[in-house]
Chain A
């Protein structure tokens, strides 16, 4: 007969309450806001006086702020009326507050505190719904290989030198082999032994006077993959310093990186910051200005040296041997010398770099040390009438002072303009890129377009609901009402679950929602039609309802399980928008089975179960 366990009602009630709570934050609009935090923890206070200062700056620029409040997490939040003022406020605050603060665009929740304390948060919105910048960057893996192989050449030389094995040359052969030619009376066994311990990853073959070191394929692909990973980390650091709330930085495929910066509109500035690569190299000065001039004139540049130029195009001879490279930098801090007023960067090296610097300065007091600023600039040039993307490397000596004393891990360099030292410090701090990257895609979604997409999406879901609900009410009457209640709860559950999981809502997500309405419809129709069928066969009403639910449940289970399989496949093998769509579809299918089978049966029992003499039901 038509019965329904009491505990199930409580379970449904609990689900309903939880769904409402966790879906609720989505109903509150978010305030476009500007978040100010300390650039380095503990150095600068985020307090009421800063809030006063910010209020003053904004008032001066005639930007009305909704509120300027210090939050508990040590951030300061400036809420603004719209995204246009948000951008203006950020642009005004950034230069005025200086490098001690990070000014970021963000969306502040307006939901009441008690919801937040229950960990109820609105779904994060995809770029297509809130506006922002989308980049795809391609990592030049060949360049990474080049760089690594060149480093191997240098390391092989120093290994042989340290071992006291004479050698005539170490060269690269192709893209995967290195060849060291040993001197006439070199200890070959010793060389091989030392190289083997120093480079366990390489395949080492001794052949006469030459040692061939081959880089295995696995090692090559590891280098290529590591390059992408390192770039990913570097980008993450840079973007964090950049000040965007909830950026997306992901690897796509084998050699691409996707970057999404919600709320940002200025691609030029973002590209400059993201794409810039600058590093410092430390090399011994092997010939001063005059020697370099002379060497250039009679083309007699020593084999171990290279000509570098300073800012003023003055040549200088620097050793080819790289003493310390940008990879060995740990930290860099811009500073102004209090005595001379000169701009510079305070540099900290890691232990390997520090050790080398120490050894070098120990032996070379009184000699000069060259600091080379290396910047890589992505450019487009024309070769044979075709455009070719390439990376131009700009090198210049920024400092070539005499070593006055021994130093190791930390020291300072000068010779840059104020702006350069700040940007250099920033880029050094955020690490070096393992390989150059090019922008292969950029999209800007305006905030108004995002808002329009939200409106369109909600309108579409709303109408799909209205269409379905009005049909059910007319066609099935009371059972139509039951179905409608089940559908509404279904939508609530999907939204609540997605918010709880932190699934990003995007435009295809709305399509998934609409489709889950369609799926949910199916289960309900199956039940209602089955009940009608039983009634037609002459079964008494209450038995008809019970049989209808029982018989339909098996069908619903089978049909939804298969549809679920399709959803899972779409999610597992899709990317980006496909996954968002698949996620809503999967959740929608699961909740629709629950609401159609359990919830609607509960309501039907509530309405019809208690009557002793039920003559007819409205279906």
Chain B
């Protein structure tokens, strides 16, 4: 019968991903170490959710040099003030971390004064439209909770995958997922884009997406190991190629949905959408280029025996007279 000709990929794709496995694993490792390095050296540009501080919106009568405003604020004791324009360019959005020892009402009042002074001294007038004080939400407690969550997920994945598949698959899937999460987090360190609670949520949801993608490929690997007579490399390659169109289509559509979030969701969802878009790309690539190649290395090398349904055989044997 005829099959509708519209396809994103040729149906008989047969790319030898395994031949590239050293290159792909090396590249993935390098990207991951760059990400870790960036997190270590540059750190994150934490948003007010984490640091606490004031968010001030000011309406100016004319556009001013942002650097001049920033310098004036720094001279006033606000070292790390973020000053940006939005809307017509006459509107300033300023994030200030309170000066040492200040909090609450006093910090709010002083921050507004400082902004007004900074604008006036640069020859403008400022009307404070919004001035909110945000306390640091993420204390030790939340950091600890985040750690628990990570342990919970890692152990949960390990148990589930080891139970449904095999421990080698579990370890490979965990490594791939952590790789994706680290790379996405690293991107926020490298780019210096603001890191707030919604970005954190986005990064954690990458974990869900990444594992999902990897499991689909592994599922096919398991199936092929049982039905094909071939060496592991061929089986893995075949599995990736068979699931390739699904992988790409899913990622493409999922990317589109998150893109809608990025384009139309407004400022407060942008960070989250950004982390998810990146997570979808990285998660897709890693399920192809990292997860399966890992299954050919050292201790993680899978063989046909690993996946033959052992329990059933034993049960069948036991039933024989």
Please give the residue numbers on chain A whose beta carbons come within 8 Å of chain B beta carbons, in ascending order.
128, 136, 138, 253-254, 380, 386-389, 438-444, 452-453, 456-457, 459-468, 471-472, 474-475, 477, 507-508, 510-511, 514-515, 517-519, 521-522, 525-526, 529-530, 532-533, 535-536, 541, 551, 554-555, 558-567, 569-570, 572-578, 581-582, 585, 615-616, 618-619
Cross-chain pairs A/B with CB under 8 angstroms, 18 sampled:
A387-B106, A388-B101, A456-B269, A464-B257, A467-B260, A507-B269, A517-B257, A518-B280, A536-B3, A555-B220, A558-B215, A566-B204, A569-B152, A569-B204, A572-B149, A574-B149, A575-B145, A619-B3
Contact among A138, A532, A555, A585 with B3 in the assembled complex (CB-CB below 8 Å): A532
Q: Indicate which residue in A467, A508, A525, A615 contacts B257 across the interface (CB closer than 8 Å).
A: A467
- Is B126 an interface residue when CB atoms closer than 8 A count as contact? no
Q: Which of A128, A253, A460, A471 contacts B260 (CB 8 A)?
A: A460
Give complex CA distance A63, B108 in Å: 34
Q: How far is the CA of A487 from the CA of B213 in the complex (A)?
A: 19
Hey, which chain A residues are within 8 Å of B257, CB to CB? 464-465, 467-468, 514-515, 517-518, 521
Distance (whole angstroms) from the CB of A413 to the closest CB of chain B: 32
Task: Indicate if the CB atoms of B164 and A558 lie closer than 8 Å.
Answer: yes
Task: Name A518's contact: one of B3, B139, B253 (CB within 8 Å).
Answer: B253
* Closest-CB distance, A416 to chain B (whole angstroms): 27
> B100's contact among A386, A541, A551, A567, by CB below 8 Å, is which?
A386
Q: B106 and A380: CB pair below 8 A? A: yes
**How far is A581 from B199 in the complex, measured between Cα atoms in Å?**
11
Q: Interface of chain B, helix or strand or loop or mixed?
A: helix
Q: How far is the CB of B39 from chain A (nearest CB, A)?
A: 20
Judge whether B260 and A563 touch: CB under 8 Å. no
Task: Write out the residue numbers on chain A whose beta carbons fall within 8 Å of the beta carbon of B223.
Answer: 551
Residues A578 and B266 in contact in the complex (CB < 8 Å), given A521-B253, A585-B208:
no
Bound CA–CA A365/B145 (angstroms):
61
Is there contact, CB below 8 Å, between A389 and B198?
no
B256 surroundings in chain A (CB, below 8 A): 464, 467-468, 471
| Cβ-defined contact, A569 with B100, below 8 A | no
Interface contact A463-B212, CB-CB below 8 Å: no
Residues from chain A with Cβ under 8 Å of B164 in the complex: 558
CA distance A605 to B207 in the complex (A): 35
Cα distance, A518 to B216, chains bound together (Å): 15
B252-A570 in contact (CB<8A): no
List, in ascending order, chain A residues with CB within 8 A of B108's CB: 442
For B124-141 the 0/1 string (1 means CB < 8 A from A) is 000000101111010101
Knowing A387-B101, A510-B269 are in contact, say whether A526-B246 is a contact too (CB < 8 A). yes
Chain B residues whose C-beta falls within 8 Å of the C-beta of A533 in the assembled complex: 242
Per the bound structure, the CA–CA distance linking A526 and B216 in Å amounts to 9
Chain B nearest CB from A479 CB (Å) reads 10
Indicate whether A440 sits within 8 Å of B1 (C-beta atoms), given known contacts A387-B106, A511-B269, A565-B153.
Answer: no
Which of A474, A477, A562 has the most chain B CB atoms closer than 10 A to its own CB?
A: A562
CB-CB < 8 A to B219: which residues of A? 554-555, 558-559
A508, B198: Cβ atoms under 8 Å?
Answer: yes
Q: Which residue of B lies closest to A469 (CB)?
A: B253
- Decide if B106 touches A444 in the complex (CB within 8 Å): no
Q: Is the CB of B216 within 8 A of A559?
A: yes
Q: Do A442 and B106 have beta carbons less than 8 Å apart?
A: no
Q: Kindly state whether residue B90 has any CB partner on chain A within 8 Å.
A: no
Complex Cα spacing A456 to B250, Å:
25
Closest to A563 in B: B208
> Given contacts A463-B264, A573-B146, A575-B142, are A555 and B216 in contact (CB under 8 A)?
yes
Q: Are B1 and A566 closer than 8 Å at their CB atoms?
A: no
How many Å from the CB of A571 to the closest CB on chain B? 9
Asked whether any CB of chain A lies closer than 8 Å to the CB of B245, the reply is yes
Q: Taking A460-B264, A514-B258, A574-B201 as given, write out 8 further A-B residue pairs in contact, using a Cβ cutoff of 8 Å, ordered by the A residue number.
A: A456-B265, A457-B269, A460-B260, A467-B259, A474-B6, A511-B198, A514-B265, A559-B219
Is the CB–CB distance between B132 and A253 below 8 Å?
no
A475 to B9, CA, bound (A): 12
B131 nearest CB neighbor, chain A only: A444
Q: In the assembled complex, how far is the CB of residue A133 from the closest CB belonging to chain B, in whole angstroms?
A: 10
- Assess the A566–B139 pair: CB atoms within 8 A: no
Q: Does B205 have its Cβ within 8 Å of any Cβ on chain A? A: yes
Q: How far is the CA of A457 from the CA of B3 in the complex (A)?
A: 39
**Which chain B residue has the least Cβ–Cβ distance from A441?**
B135
- Closest Cβ of chain A to B143, distance in Å, is 11
Q: Mark B225-246, 1 if CB is under 8 A from A, else 0.
A: 0000000000000000011011
Q: Which 10 A-B pairs have the closest CB atoms?
A: A441-B135, A464-B257, A463-B260, A518-B254, A573-B149, A566-B208, A464-B260, A440-B135, A467-B256, A386-B101
Determine whether B103 belongs to the interface, using a CB cutoff of 8 Å to chain A: yes
Q: Which of B2, B52, B137, B258 contacts A515 (CB 8 A)?
A: B258
Contact between A563 and B104 (Cβ–Cβ < 8 Å)? Answer: no
B292, CB-defined interface residue at 8 Å: no
A582 to chain B minimum Cβ distance, whole angstroms, is 8
CB distance from A540 to the nearest CB of B (A): 8
Task: Determine whether B209 belongs to the interface, using a CB cutoff of 8 Å to chain A.
Answer: yes
Closest A-chain residue to B262, C-beta based?
A: A460
Contact of B201 among A514, A558, A581, A615 (CB under 8 A): A581
- Is there an interface contact between B204 and A570, defined as CB atoms closer than 8 Å? yes
Contacts of B152 in A (CB 8 A): 569, 572-573
Known: A453-B268, A563-B209. A618 touches B160 (CB 8 A): no
Report the minimum CB–CB distance from A559 to chain B (whole Å).
4
Nearest Cβ distance between residue A470 and chain B, in whole angstroms? 9
The distance in angstroms between the C-alpha atoms of A456 and B204, with both chains bound, is 23
Residues A578 and B197 in contact, CB atoms below 8 Å apart = yes
Residue of A nearest to B132 (CB): A443
Cβ B205 vs Cβ A566 within 8 A: yes
Give the chain A neighbours of B3 by CB distance below 8 A. Answer: 532, 535-536, 619
Per a CB cutoff under 8 Å, which of A386, A514, A530 touches B261? A514
Give Cα A541–Cα B208 distance, bound, in whole angstroms. Answer: 34
Do the beta carbons of A254 and B130 come within 8 Å of each other?
no
Minimum distance in angstroms from B106 CB to a CB of chain A: 4
> For the complex, what is the distance from the CA of A555 to the CA of B165, rounded to whole Å?
12
Q: Which residues of B contact A441 (CB under 8 A)?
A: 52, 133-135, 137
Q: Kindly identify which residue among B6, B160, B260 contacts A565, using a CB–CB cutoff of 8 Å.
A: B160
When C-beta atoms are compared, the residue in chain A nearest to B102 turns out to be A387
- A618-B205 CB under 8 A given contacts A380-B105, A460-B265: no
Q: How far is the CB of B252 from chain A (nearest CB, A)?
A: 7
Enumerate chain B residues within 8 angstroms of A526, measured Cβ to Cβ: 216, 246, 250
CB-based nearest B residue for A532: B3
The reply to whether A562 and B149 contact each other, CB–CB distance below 8 Å, is no
Q: Which residues of A contact B249 (CB under 8 A)?
A: 475, 525, 529
Contacts of A510 in B (CB 8 A): 261, 265, 269
Give chain A nearest CB distance to B112 CB in angstroms: 13
Contact call B272/A511, Cβ cutoff below 8 A: yes
Report the separation of the CA atoms of residues A529 and B107 in the bound assembly, to the nearest whole angstrom. 58
Known: A438-B104, A535-B3. A507 touches B268 (CB 8 A): yes
What is the CA–CA distance of A466 and B215 in the complex, to the nearest angstrom?
A: 28
A541 to B2, CA, bound (A): 11
User: Within the complex, what minimum Cβ distance (angstroms) separates A595 from chain B?
Assistant: 15
Which residues of chain A have C-beta atoms less than 8 A from B141's C-beta? 253-254
Chain B residues lying within 8 Å of A459, measured Cβ to Cβ, are: 264-265
Say which residue of A525, A575, A578, A618 sits within 8 Å of B4 (CB atoms).
A618
A572 cross-chain contacts in B, Cβ below 8 A: 149, 152
